[in-house]
Structure 1
Amino acid sequence: MNAYLAAMRRYLDFKGRASRTEFWMFTLVVFVGGIVALILDAALGNGQNGPPFVTALWIIPHYVPALAVAVRRLHDLDRTGWWVLIGIIPLGALVLLVFYCQPSTPGANRFGMGRAGNGAQSPVQARQQANAS
């Protein structure tokens, strides 16, 4: 939940980086909330004769924050945020899914420092280095 709240606090921040956890937890909360909103709309009878009101109330406010966290996730991979536009072509969403699943660029990149801090290693890299020693 903290990752979702962190993404919502930075809802207009298209600079910087977002970790995999921040991106996927935000995506999970928005997805589950959308499912709940669809169920509420169906229970209330919305969407049959008019727009699905509850779903719209959930999805519309999350559109810009979702775009911002997606751009920051791409920045974390040292890719430009313009890659989100590939999602409008066929199979482009699959390319984005592969990007979103990749591990973060360790340390600093051209978009700033990672969540690990001042060039610090990720926990996985630190474990690998400790095992190699």
Structure 2
Amino acid sequence: MSLMFQPLRKYATFSGRARRKEYWLWQLFVALLYTALTIWLVSTLGPIPETATADEMMAQMNGAPAAMYPMIAIGLASLLLFLPSLAVTVRRIHDSGNSGWWILLGLTAVGGIVILVFALIDGTPGPNRYGADPKGRAAPAY
């Protein structure tokens, strides 16, 4: 459980390495938080007809001033969680022995797949140029 909040303790630390468990627990925390905030937003709006247009939904949001609070909370959460999310992703890429600049691939159409692969593969055993192995494994003997 402590790994889930490790990115908050290392708020903007881009150096070092992050285990897969730390990365995915952080992603789970962020997903649960945004799900809860979205449920709060939808519950303040009330029922929305399936055939409602974007203008009709905006009018309903303007008619529900209580919807302002969950929207502010979503905006603040996005601002506060941006740097820890970016930092834990860079540290996760470092765990595979690659430069954190690979994260810029996420700005392209297929780059998200590359970042997903980096997040899924196991890190290099033993220390690499970005730090000690977070799992505490020794370097392989060749």
TM over 0.5: yes
Residue 30 of structure 1 aligns with which residue?
30
Deviation at 1:70, TM superposition (A): 0.3
Residue 72 of structure 1 aligns with which residue?
91
CA distance in structure 1 between the aligned counterparts of 2:42 and 2:110, rounded to whole angstroms: 31
Higher-Rg member (1/2): 2
CA distance in structure 1 between the aligned counterparts of 2:111 and 2:117, rounded to whole angstroms: 10
Residue 54 of structure 2 aligns with which residue?
none
Query: When the two structures are superposed, what TM-score results if normalisation uses the length of structure 2?
Result: 0.77
Asked whether 1:95 is paired with 2:141, we answer no
Higher relative contact order (CA 8 A, sep 6+): 2
Matched length: 121
Percent identity, please. 35
Whether the aligned pair in 1 keeps the contact of 2:125 and 2:137 (CA below 8 Å) is no
CA distance in structure 1 between the aligned counterparts of 2:139 and 2:32, rounded to whole angstroms: 34
Deviation at 1:112, TM superposition (A): 0.7
Query: When the two structures are superposed, what TM-score results if normalisation uses the length of structure 1?
Result: 0.82
Residue 9 of structure 2 aligns with which residue?
9
Q: Which runs of 5+ in 2 are unaligned?
A: 46-57
RMSD: 2.1
Which of 81, 86, 107 matches 1:62? 81
Whether the aligned pair in 2 keeps the contact of 1:38 and 1:54 (CA below 8 Å) is no
Letter in 2 for 1:25: L
Asked whether 1:109 is paired with 2:128, we answer yes
Residue 20 of structure 1 aligns with which residue?
20
Q: Which runs of 5+ in 1 are unaligned?
A: 122-133
CA distance in structure 2 between the aligned counterparts of 1:24 and 1:80, rounded to whole angstroms: 20
CA distance in structure 2 between the aligned counterparts of 1:116 and 1:73, rounded to whole angstroms: 13
CA distance in structure 2 between the aligned counterparts of 1:30 and 1:120, rounded to whole angstroms: 33
CA distance in structure 2 between the aligned counterparts of 1:76 and 1:65, rounded to whole angstroms: 16
